[in-house]
Structure 1
Amino acid sequence: MKMDRKEPATLLALAIQSLLSNDSAAIHALGEIPRELFIPLFTAAFKGGHKKTLTEMVKTWPFFCLHIGNLSVQKPHGELLKAMVDGLQILPAKNCDSRRPKLRILDLRQDTDCRTTCPAISTKSPVCLYSCVNAKQSMLKIESINSIVTSESETQSSRKAMELLVDLFFDGTLKEREFISSIVNKIKQSLGFLHLCCRDLQIDTFYDCEDILSILDLVCIDNLAIEQASLSEVTTLLSRIVQLDSLSLTKIRFRSLNGDIFRNFLMHLGRMDHLKELNLSSFCLTNHLEKLLRVLPPDLDFLYLPFCEVSPRDFTFLSQCPQTSHLKVLNLSNNPMYWEDFEPFQTLLENLSGTLRHLEINNCLLTDSTMLVFLPALSHCSKLRLLSFASNPITMPTLMTIVQHLMSLMELKYVIYPIPVHCYEGCYSQRQVDRQKLGEVQTQLKMMLQLAGRDDMRCMTYAW
C-alpha cells in the first residue's frame, strides 16, 4: 500500500523530466496540459535551468500570479530571472487561442514562505497576497480607462496592467547590467502598464544604474543598502523615498559632519518614522552620534555601528536617549573602548536588559577589568540569545568567569568568545595561535557547559 501511495508522484516526476528533456516538446505542450501541471512543471524547469521553457511558461501562465518563492538562485539575479522577465506579455500573444495568459503579477523575490501561486479567492476577482499596495490604484486606473476605450483602440484596450516584483542589486557586473537592461526595456515597451516594485534595493556602485533609478518608484522600497557612495548621492536617493524599514550605509564619503550635506541627510532620515533597523559601518560619527540618534524613531529595533569611531560622549548619549531604549540587536564592534568611565555602557545594558537579544562588541580593546565591570549588567539581559565579544585581549580565568555567569541566562544559545591571550605565541598582536592550547580551552568550556546542564548553549571562537 505504501508503494501505491508514492507511485503517482514518481510517475509525475518522471513524466515532467521526460518532457523537459526536449525544450520544443515542452513548449508545445504548454497549450495542452492541464493548468494543475503548470506548478510542478515550473518548479522542475526552474531547478533544471530550462530558460526557453521558463520564458514560454510566463507567456502562458494560467494563474493570476507567479512567485519563485523558495526556489534558490545562485546569483542575486541570474539568467533564469532574465528569461522570465523576457516572457512577460503586456499584450496577449497573437494566434494564441488555446490558452490566453492570465498572469498579472510576476514575483522574482526569494521568499521561503511563499507559494508558487496564491490560492484564488474567486474566479471573478483573483488576488495575490504579495501584490504591491502602491500598484493597486494604478492597475484600477488603467482598467477603468480600458473599459471606456472605443473599439478603434483595440490594441490599447487589450493591454493589462501588470506588476513585476524584484529585489535589485547593483554590483556593476555584466550579468547584473544585462538583467537590469531587460527590465528597463520591458517597462518602456509597456507604456506605463507594467509597475516595477522593488522592496529591497542594494547599491554597491552607482555606475550604470541611472536609467532604472529614474523609472523606479522608490515609494515601494522597504530596505535600502548602499556601499561606497558619497553622502550627497545617498541624500538625493533618500529624498525620493517615503518610508524605510531598514537602512544600511557602508563606507560613505563626506567631508564634514557640520556641513549642509550632513544636515540634509539627517532631515531626510528624520522622515523615516517607521525605521526599525539602522546599519552604519565605517561611517565616522565621533561626537556627532547625538545628532543622528535624535532624528530616529523611538522604537528602533536594530542598531549597527561598527567602525564608527564613537567617543565616550557618544556612549553617554547612547545610554540616555529614548531611541535606543528598546533595542533588540546592538553591534558596537571595532570601536575601541579604552576610556576610564564605563558607566554609560553599563547603564545602556541595564536599560536594555528586557529587550536585548543580540550583542556584538568584537575588537573593542576590552580587557579583563572592563569585562568584569560589564558582567553584572550583562548577566541581567534575560532575553539575550547571542553574545559576541571576540578579538579582545581576555585571559583564561576571566573567560571562565564570564561564561560561568552567562550560563544563568537561559535564552542565551550562542557565545562567540575571544581566544585567550595565553594561546598566542609571542606578541598578542601577531595573532599566531597555539592550536593545542586553544583546544584545551575549548575542552574546558565544553565540560563547564555539560556540568551545568547547558548542552543547548554553544561557545565558539574565531581561529586564524
Structure 2
Amino acid sequence: MVFPLVNLCAKEVVSDHSSSLGWLDCVPRELYRPLLEAAFTNCRLLAVGELVQRWPERTLRVGGRRRKGQSPPNRLCVQALLLAVVRGLSDKRCALQVLDLCGLQCEEGGVGDPMGGWSLTVALCTMVVQARAGAQRALRREGERERKRVLAKRRGEKRGIEEESEGGERLVESVGRDKEGSETSGSLGEEEQVKGVRRRIEMERRKESAAVAGLAGERGSESEADSEVVVCVRADLLVNARSWERVGAALGTTGPLKLQCRYVRVEELSASSIGSLLDLLPRHGLLGVDISYSCLGVAGLVLLLPQLSMFPLLSSLCLHYCNLDICRDMPGQEGALRDMSQWLGQLGQLRRLSLTALRLPGHLRMLLSSLSQPLEVLELPYLSLTPADLSYLSCSPHASSLQQLDLSENRLDESALPSVRRLLSQASGCLMHLSLSGCGITDGLLAALLPSLSCCRGLKSLGLALNPLSVAGLLDLVRTVVRMPSLRQLRYPNPLEDYQPGLPPMPSSAQLLDWPLDELVEVHEATSLQLDRVVMESGRSDLFLTCDLLNYNKDLVEQ
C-alpha cells in the first residue's frame, strides 16, 4: 500500500500551486518522480514546469510503455516540460543530462488530447533551435560585459601610468635644474630615465590592444561555445514535407540540446530528401526506419540502402506503399532488385522487415536469402505472394524464429495450403502474432488450417478479418482458439449470413469491406451470442473477440 499512498499524497501536493515554493526546496529527490507523474495525470502545468526545471537526476524518461489504465501525458503538459528543459539549462539546481521521450507520441486526437508524432517532432525541433539561439544571446551578453570590464580596467591602469609619467617628467625637470651644468654622465642618466618611462607606456598599450583583440576572438568563436552539449534529447521522429526543414535545422544545430533519434518515420518525401535526412542522423542510436507513401521505386531504394547500412544498430526497416512494383516489366529492374537484395544483406542487425503493397511476386527468395540473421518480425501485406514465395518462406531460416507474421491480403488457395501449414509448424514454438486477414480463406481452407493453428501454443493475437467464412466456420474457429491458452485477441470476419443479399459466391476482401451488412440488428446479435456462448462455456474470460477492424487493443495483447 506504500505506492498508492505516495501517489495520493503527490496528487494533493501538486494540486495547490501556491504552496510549491514551500515544498520544492525541501522535497527529497526520490519524490520527484511520483510528483511529476501526479502533475501529468492531473494536468498541473506549473508543477510540471517547476519539477523539470530543477530535476535532480541525470535522466528523465517520459513515454515508453505505460502501465495498464495509464493515459499518455496531455499535450499541454508536454509543452510545459519542453519549456522547463530550456529554462533548466541556466538553473544550477537542474542535474538533467538525458531526456528520453521515446514512445511518447500517440495518435493525433486520442483520449485526453495527447501529443501526436508530428506535433511532438515539430515541438522538439523548435526547442533545440531556440535553446541554441538563447545560448548565443547569453554568450554575446557575457562577452560584452567582459569587454566593458577589461576596457574599464585598462583605462584605469592607463590613467595611473600617465600620472606616473607626468611625475617622472617633473622629476627630470627638477634634476635638470638642480644639476645644471653638471658632468656629461648626469645628462646621460636623465635620458635613460625618460626612455624607461616611455617604454613602460608602450608596453601597457600593447597589453590593452591584445586584451581587446582577445575579446573579439571570443565573439567570433561562438560556434565552438555552442558545441557544448548540456542535455541529450532522445525521441522518435515523424518527418514529412511540412516538417522537413525544421527537422533538418534541429539535427544540424550544435548547441546545449542535442537531438538523438531512435525511430524515424518518413512520409511523402523524395529519395534525395530522405538521403539528406539520413546524413544528419547520428550513426549510433538509430534502431528503426519507416518510409511510407514515398515514390521511391526500386532505383530509389537501392540509393538509400547503402546509407542505411551505415547505422550499425538498425534492426527495423519498414517500407509502406513506396511504389515498388515488379509486376511491370521495366528494363534494368531485375538487376536493381539484385542490388537491393545485396544491400539488405549489409544490415547485419535487421530483425524486423515490413514490406506493404510493394507487389513483388516470385522475388521473396531473392530478397530474404541475403539476410545474415533470421528475422523475428516479417510483415508482407499486399505483396501478391505466389505459392513459390510461400514455399521458400516455410523452408527458410526465418520460419523457426518468427514472432510476428503478417500475410494479409495475399490470396491463399489449395496450392498454397501445404506451404502455409509447414510454415505454421516451423514457427509454432515462437509465433505470438499472426494476421491472415483478407486472404480468401473459406470454411474448407480454415478447417485444414485449424490443426496447424492450434499447435501455435504461444500465439497471443490472431487476425482473420475480411475472409469469406460462414457462421459454422466461425464456430469451429472459436472452439479451436479457446483451447489455445496464450491467445488474448481474435479478430474474426463478419459471417456471410450477416451481409445483404447479392454478395458473390467467392467475394474478395474489398467486396466484403464495401458490401452493406444486413440492417436487422437481430442478425448480428445472433452471431455474437453464439460466439460468446462458446467462450463462456470454455471459461475463457481473458479472450477478447471482435469483428471491428479498428478495435485493436495492443495493450490487451501484450499483457
**TM-score, scaled relative to structure 2:** 0.62
- Work out whether residues 298 and 324 of structure 1, in 8 Å CA contact, stay in contact via their aligned partners in 2: no
Match status 1:102 vs 2:169: no
Q: Secondary structure at the match of 1:319?
A: helix
Instruction: Please say which structure displays the higher CA radius of gyration.
Output: 2
User: 1:341-420, aligned counterparts within 5 Å?
Assistant: 341-420=416-495
- Does the 8 Å contact 1:172/1:205 carry over to 2? yes
Report the equivalent of 1:292: 367
Alignment partner of 1:241 is 2:241:
no
> Which residue identity does 1:250 align to in structure 2?
H
Q: What secondary structure sits across from 1:166 in the alignment?
A: strand
* Structure 2 CA distance for aligned equivalents of residues 274 and 183 of structure 1: 28
Cross-structure match for 1:167 = 236
Q: Judging changes above 3 Å, is the alpha-carbon distance between structure 1 residues 284 and 463 closer, same or farther for their aligned structure 2 residues?
A: closer
1:42-67: CA deviations, max 9, x gaps? 5566664748983x866654432333
The answer to whether the Cα contact below 8 Å between 2:240 and 2:268 also exists between their aligned partners in 1 is yes
- Per the alignment, in what secondary structure is the counterpart of residue 198 of structure 1? strand
Structure having the higher helix fraction is 2
Distance 2:76 2:407 in 1: 29
Q: What is the DSSP-based 3-state SS (H/G/I as helix, E as strand, rest coil) of the residue aligned with 1:381?
A: coil
Counterpart of 1:432, as a letter, is P
The answer for the alignment partner of 1:262 in structure 2 is 337
Contact between 2:377 and 2:402, CA under 8 Å: does it hold in 1? yes
Comparing 200-209 with 381-390, greater Cα deviation is found at 200-209
Q: Percent identity?
A: 24
Contact 1:51 1:83 in 2 (8 A): no
1:205-284 superposed matches below 5 A: 205-206=268-269, 213-229=278-294, 230-231=296-297, 232-235=299-302, 236=304, 237-254=307-324, 256=326, 258-284=333-359
Q: Shift in Å at residue 398 of structure 1?
A: 2.1
Compute the TM-score of the two structures, normalised by the length of structure 1: 0.73
- 1:266, CA displacement in angstroms? 2.4
Q: Which residue of 1 aligns with 2:413?
A: 338
SS at match of 1:188: coil
Structure 2 residue 262 is matched with structure 1 residue 199: yes
After TM superposition, the structure 1 = structure 2 runs for residues 113-152 of structure 1, keeping only pairs within 5 Å, are none
Deviation of residue 249 (structure 1)?
1.2
**Partner secondary structure for residue 369 of structure 1:** helix
Tell whether 2:536 aligns with 1:450: yes
- Which is worse superposed, 193-202 or 275-284? 193-202
- 1:401 deviates by 2.1
Q: What's the offset of the Cα at 1:40?
A: 6.2
2-side partners of 1:179 and 1:77: how far apart?
Answer: 22
Decide whether aligned partners of structure 1 residues 289 and 46 sit closer, same or farther in structure 2, where only a CA change above 3 A counts.
same
Residue in 2 that maps onto 1:437: 523
CA–CA separation in structure 1 for the residues paired with 2:417 and 2:401: 20
Letter in 2 for 1:170: V
User: After superposition, what is the alpha-carbon deviation per residue over 1:48-93, rounded to whole angstroms, capped at 9, x for unaligned?
Assistant: 4748983x8666544323332468355699644653564463xxx4
SS in 2 for 1:315: helix
What SS does the corresponding residue of 1:199 show, helix, strand or coil?
strand
Structure 2, gaps ≥5 residues long: 106-216, 328-332, 504-510, 551-559
Deviations 1:152-200 (A, max 9, x none): 9899789555422122111444xx569737734xx6342xx75432111
Q: Secondary structure of the residue that 1:266 maps to in structure 2?
A: helix
Q: Cα offset for 1:223? A: 1.9
Matches of 1:181 and 1:30, distance apart in 2:
41
Superposition deviation, residue 290 in structure 1: 0.8
User: C-alpha displacement at 1:412, in angstroms?
Assistant: 2.2
Aligned residues: 403
Structure 1 counterpart of 2:62, from 68, 71, 93: 68
1:323-363 deviation per Cα after TM superposition (whole angstroms, max 9, x unaligned)? 22221211111111135342111111111222222211111
Residues 19, 383 of structure 1: CA spacing in aligned structure 2 closer, same or farther, 3 A cutoff? same
Q: Is this contact kept in 1: 2:355–2:380, CA < 8 A?
A: yes
Per the alignment, in what secondary structure is the counterpart of residue 490 of structure 2?
strand
| 1:79–1:179 Cα contact (<8 Å) kept | no
Question: Does residue 1:12 correspond to 2:81, yes or no?
Answer: no
Q: Distance in 1 between matches of 2:58 and 2:358?
A: 45
Question: Which amino acid counterpart does residue 249 of structure 1 have in structure 2?
Answer: L
CA contact (8 A) 2:382 2:409 kept: yes
Q: Which amino acid aligns with 1:417?
A: Y
